[in-house]
Structure 1
Amino acid sequence: MDAIIYKLVLNYLNKKVTVDLKDEFINASVHFNINNDIYKKYSSVEIEYMLSTIGDNNIIDYIELCSVCGYILYRSIENNELEEENRIEALQRILEISNSISSYLRGYLNEEELYKTLLRVTEKFNLSKKEVEILIANLK
């Protein structure tokens, strides 16, 4: 899966996500990556509030970046756009993202632990620092 995530995400954002829809798309991507059991315990508004209490913009950027990557990977799998050998690895990354964000919402991880976990995910995506910066800038 080396190097495909960057192109995949950048192409998806440029082709399918208009400026008017960007905030809604990011928000939907974050919610897509939250485990269902969280929704049984909290409403969407409560979840939004819990995420809004994160004070560090770097952490927020990585939550958004990883959520968007996870969502786009999932759509790519659904649409048979990934090679068979990349599907399992993509699903593993999607689960990592989902479990990380959900663990934070459950109180199992603090903000710093969540940030470190999401940094590791981007390393597994083999995203360079420059690519991360470009993708985050595209989400702004």
Structure 2
Amino acid sequence: MDVIIYKLVQNYIEEKVTDDLKDEFINAALHFNINNDVYKMFSPIEIEYKINKISSGEIKDYVELCSVYGYILFRLIKDNTIKEEDRIEALQIILEINNIITNYIRGIIKEEELFERLMNITTKLNLTKEKNLHIIEKLNS
């Protein structure tokens, strides 16, 4: 994908996510990335509990980070900000994020595999650890 995701995500957060809305935005992005059928199995409170139960702060940060990446990619596609030739790859990444997080909530994968798969997503997006940490910092400030 030729798109410079880092800059697009950074701009999106700066322009559209106010300090007052950051927590709500992260929560909405997380829920956006969970398959609807999971809501038939678990209540929103149980889903939130499973996410909050993640023992590592770093893994939880990456769950939130990749959820935000997935949601912003979706918005960029809807707004025609991403070139046509990159849309399929972006949609595949969104679906992959969705499946990873959903599989964790269902108990199909454990924390370590969750983290490994999310790290693979950031690699596919050509995002370095430093860039990821910068976005995490923006989301947490």
> How many residues are aligned here?
140
Decide whether the 8 Å contact of 1:2 with 1:126 is kept in 2. Answer: no
Q: Which consecutive segments of 4 or more residues in structure 1 shift more than 6 A?
A: none
Q: Does 1:70 align with 2:70?
A: yes
Q: What is the CA–CA distance in structure 2 between the aligned matches of 1:17 and 1:113, rounded to whole Å?
A: 30
1:98 is matched with: 98
SS of 1:81's partner is coil
Q: Is the 8 A contact 1:103 1:109 kept in 2?
A: yes
The residue identity in structure 1 corresponding to 2:96 is E
Matches within 5 A, 1:1-140: 1-2=1-2, 4-140=4-140
Offset of residue 39 of structure 1: 0.6
| Aligned residue identity for 1:30 | L
Q: Report the TM-score when normalising by structure 2.
A: 0.97
Say whether the 8 Å CA contact 2:66–2:97 is kept in structure 1: yes
CA distance in 2, matches of 1:96, 1:50: 19
Give the drift of 1:2. Answer: 3.7
What secondary structure, in the 3-state scheme, does the structure 1 residue paired with 2:37 have?
Answer: helix
Structure 1 window deviating more from structure 2 (3-12 vs 66-75): it is: 3-12
SS in 2 for 1:109: coil
Q: Distance in 2 between matches of 1:14 and 1:38?
A: 31
Q: Secondary structure of 1:36's match?
A: coil
Superposition TM-score, scaled by structure 1 size: 0.97
Q: 1: CA distance between counterparts of 2:83 and 2:2?
A: 12
Paired with 1:83 and 1:127, the residues of 2 have a C-alpha distance of 19
Is the 1:62–1:115 Cα contact (8 Å) retained in structure 2? yes
Rounded Cα–Cα distance in structure 1 between residues aligned with 2:2 and 2:22: 26
Unaligned runs of 5+ in 2: none
| Cα drift, residue 128 of structure 1 | 1.4
Q: Deviations over 1:48-99 (max 9, x none)?
A: 0111110100100100110000000001111111100110010010011000
- Say what the alpha-carbon RMSD is for the aligned residues: 0.8
% identical aligned pairs: 58
